[in-house]
């Protein structure tokens, strides 16, 4: 069914990013809780229609590692994208994440990425802010760049550079799954340490914004840092290192990701208890999650 502006009851603003604001809302006809992302776009009705139709591929994404899509509509000069609400918010709030939890998270993120790659869709914006968790212990990816037209319309308003982007993408070359692997490597490093893998990107005063060309120079030229050996396992250190090769062809491939991801052998895990006034019981239904061979249960995962 179509979602309209009038059918939504806005409850709270959850956060905002470059493009827009995200609200928690209730879809009144269905009582469904949703996360509604509003992005201001000054574009023609024809372009609006194209965006709505491009987003429709999201209806077909049925993976437990991908946020569910409920629909999208334009109202005034804003698009509203309605998706599943995740009560734990995004992973940036939990950094640094303990290595065991990182293993569980990593399995989910990789499964989500591989699922979308199979549908020939790249995420295009992998970062801790786009990995969401909930109190049922689930980890899901959001904000897939499925609509080229939406990406283009946003890019004209905001500078399309960020610290998670692969060297080839920053340089304007064609990019594909290896660029996702890079962003994922940056994300894992940041989740593990709370810092970016490039020393020069961490040293700046938070009030001073690095110029995009400076960010690009650092990412292209500076060797990335390795995770500290005193704190992390050699397999995690190697995994992140192999995601962050400057040359796309030398990075881990999709299959490598699955087989060498941290978490393959981890059984127990816990995430930092998250500071929320709501009372989360930390109890998961047994067998709520298992991957492939089924040897890895998610039932000990807690937030």
| Beta carbon of residue 129, minimum distance to Mg ion (angstroms, whole number) | 5
| Interaction residues for Mg ion, span 112-171 (CB under 5 A) | 130, 143
Is 84 a binder of Mg ion (CB under 5 A)? no
Q: In the set 11, 15, 216, 217, which binds ligand ATP (CB under 6 A)?
A: 15
The answer to whether 79 contacts ligand ATP (rule: CB under 6 A) is: no
User: How many chain residues are in contact with ligand ATP, going by CB under 6 A?
Assistant: 23
- Give the residue ranges of the annotated binding site for ATP: 37
| 14 touching ligand ATP, by CB under 6 A | yes
For ligand ATP, the binding residues in 34-53 under the rule CB under 6 A are: 35, 37
Own/partner pairs, 288-291, CB within 8 angstroms, 24+ separation:
288/136, 288/137, 288/138, 289/64, 289/137, 289/138, 291/107, 291/111
Give the number of other CB atoms < 10 A from CB of residue 206: 5
Place of tokens 């292209």: 220
Q: Choose which of 48, 80, 90, 193 interacts with ligand ATP (CB under 6 A).
A: 90
**Phi and psi torsions of 15, nearest 5°:** 165, 175
**Residue 132, SS3 per DSSP:** strand
Annotated binding-site members: 37
The yes-or-no answer on residue 205 being catalytic is no
Rounded Cα–Cα distance for residues 245 and 100 (Å): 24
Q: Does 16 bind ligand ATP (CB under 6 A)?
A: yes
* Segment 209-213 long-range contacts (CB within 8 Å, at least 24 positions apart): 212/159, 212/161
When the beta carbons of 14 and 258 are compared against ligand ATP, the nearer one is 14
Q: Which residues contact 296 (CB under 8 A, 6 or more apart)?
A: 107, 263, 264, 266, 267, 290
The SS3 assignment for 83 reads strand
131 to 150: interface string for ligand ATP, x by CB under 6 A: -x---------xx-------
Longest Cα separation, the chain: 56
- If the CB atoms of residues 67 and 227 are measured against ligand ATP, the closer one turns out to be 67
Helix (H) or strand (E) holding 95: none
Q: Give me the catalytic one of 42, 76, 92, 125.
A: 125
Give residues in contact with Mg ion (CB under 5 A): 130, 143
- Residues designated as active site: 125
Interface ranges with ligand ATP (CB under 6 A): 14-20, 22, 35, 37, 67, 83-86, 89-90, 125, 129-130, 132, 142-143
């Amino acid at each position: 069914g179509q979602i309209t502006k009038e059918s939504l009851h806005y409850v709270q603003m959850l956060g905002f990013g470059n493009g827009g604001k995200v609200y928690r809302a209730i879809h009144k006809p269905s009582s469904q809780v949703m996360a509604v992302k509003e992005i201001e776009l000054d574009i023609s009705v024809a372009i609006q229609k194209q965006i709505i139709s491009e987003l429709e591929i999201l209806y077909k994404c049925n993976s437990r590692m991908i946020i569910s899509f409920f629909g999208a509509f334009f109202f005034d000069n804003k698009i509203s994208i309605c998706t599943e609400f995740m009560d734990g918010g995004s992973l940036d709030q939990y950094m640094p994440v303990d290595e065991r939890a990182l293993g569980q998270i990593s399995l989910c993120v990789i499964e989500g990425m591989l699922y979308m790659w199979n549908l020939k869709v790249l995420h295009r914006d992998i970062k801790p802010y786009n990995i969401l968790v909930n109190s049922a212990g689930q980890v899901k990816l959001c904000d897939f760049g499925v609509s080229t037209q939406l990406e283009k319309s946003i890019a004209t308003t905001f500078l399309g550079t960020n610290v998670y982007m692969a060297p080839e993408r920053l340089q304007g070359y064609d990019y594909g799954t290896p660029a996702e692997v890079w962003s994922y490597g940056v994300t894992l490093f940041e989740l593990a340490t709370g810092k970016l893998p490039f020393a020069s990107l961490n040293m700046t005063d938070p009030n001073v914004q690095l110029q995009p060309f400076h960010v690009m120079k650092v990412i292209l030229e500076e060797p990335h840092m390795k995770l500290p050996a005193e704190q992390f396992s050699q397999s995690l250190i190697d995994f992140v290192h192999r995601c962050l090769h400057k040359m796309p062809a030398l990075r881990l491939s999709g299959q490598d990701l699955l087989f060498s991801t941290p978490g393959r052998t981890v059984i127990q895990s816990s995430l930092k208890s998250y500071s929320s006034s709501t009372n989360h019981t930390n109890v998961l239904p047994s067998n709520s999650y298992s991957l492939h061979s089924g040897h890895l249960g998610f039932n000990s995962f807690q937030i």
